[in-house]
């Protein structure tokens, strides 16, 4: 399929197809679809460079939404199919997490690019969740630190970083205040309960006792929101928000 079919170019300039033309902007989910609608409702533009760069950022956000949806399906399968005799962790969850983190990191470098900073300034303060999870990319998903250690990498941590997304999943409590938390061995506990009560995720051990936890179900909404806000600021800075877009955003 040609790129022009995704991003038609008319006599008036580049345009984006609106995936939800009859919905208010604020109600459109996932956020990658909202970003497409935002661009579509801004109208056509003759600035092809700006259009293609921003659309590339939206495509990265769409990738995050895609891999997150896949992880949710895998997690639901883990809940339904977990038994005492079968492995609880589905390796598909780990593979989707690798792909997700790489897309997330790709967006981070887009947001930090000269193109973006020249238009809306340094976005570091708006990317706190994404930046907190970057070590997963630097130490494992882009390349493993054990294969290409940096000068500041603690050698005793390299094997642990190597196993971050392939040695099983970290369990994070969904609701710390839950009154009837069932522990293994207690009446009513089954492997499926593990994923009902907890978020599956991963942990990256860093130097000096620092560690980062990635739980997709918990973290994706914040990550996607940070990415969408960059797209929103880019579009409003470049074209000015229409009354409809501003009202819907609020």
Closest CA to 34 of 237, 231, 250: 231
In this structure, the number of other CB atoms found within 10 A of the CB of residue 202 comes to 26
- Let me know if residue 16 belongs to a domain: no
What pLDDT does residue 230 have? 97
Range of the domain at 75: 29-174+189-249
- Let me know if residue 144 belongs to a domain: yes
- Let me know if residue 202 belongs to a domain: yes
Provide the domain count of the chain. 1
What pLDDT does residue 96 have? 95
What pLDDT does residue 159 have? 59
User: What are the percentages of helix, strand and coil residues in the chain, rounded to 5?
Assistant: 60, 10, 35
Peptide bond into 30 cis (omega under 30): yes
- Let me know if residue 141 belongs to a domain: yes
- Let me know if residue 19 belongs to a domain: no
Structure tokens belonging to residue 228: 């969408």
Q: How far is CA 71 from CA 1, 146, 170, 223, in A?
A: 27, 26, 15, 15
- Residue ranges of the chain with per-residue pLDDT less than 50: 1-6, 11, 242-250
- Let me know if residue 11 belongs to a domain: no
- Let me know if residue 4 belongs to a domain: no
Q: What is the pLDDT of residues 62-104, one digit of tens each?
A: 999 999 999 999 988 888 877 666 656 778 888 999 999 999 9
What pLDDT does residue 139 have? 79
């Amino acid at each position: 399929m040609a790129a022009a079919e995704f991003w038609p170019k008319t006599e008036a300039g580049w345009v984006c197809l609106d995936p939800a033309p009859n919905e208010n902007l604020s109600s459109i989910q996932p956020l990658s679809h909202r970003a497409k609608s935002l661009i579509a409702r801004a109208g056509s533009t003759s600035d092809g460079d700006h259009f293609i760069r921003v659309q590339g950022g939206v495509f990265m956000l769409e990738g995050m939404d895609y891999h997150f949806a896949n992880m949710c399906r895998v997690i639901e399968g883990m809940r339904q199919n977990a038994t005492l005799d079968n492995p609880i962790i589905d390796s598909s969850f780990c593979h989707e997490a690798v792909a997700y983190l790489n897309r997330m990191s790709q967006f981070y470098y887009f947001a930090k690019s000269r193109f973006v900073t020249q238009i809306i300034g340094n976005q570091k303060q708006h990317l706190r969740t994404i930046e907190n999870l970057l070590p997963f990319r630097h130490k494992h998903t882009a390349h493993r630190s054990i294969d290409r250690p940096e000068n500041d990498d603690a050698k005793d941590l390299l094997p642990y970083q190597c196993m971050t997304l392939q040695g099983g999943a970290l369990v994070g409590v969904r609701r710390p205040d839950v009154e009837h938390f069932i522990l293994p061995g207690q009446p009513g506990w089954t492997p499926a309960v593990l994923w009902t009560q907890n978020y599956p995720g991963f942990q990256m051990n860093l130097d000096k006792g620092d560690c980062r936890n990635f739980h997709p179900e918990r973290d994706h909404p914040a990550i996607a929101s940070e990415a969408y806000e960059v797209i929103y600021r880019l579009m409003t800075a470049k074209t000015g928000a229409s009354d409809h877009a501003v009202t819907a955003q609020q």
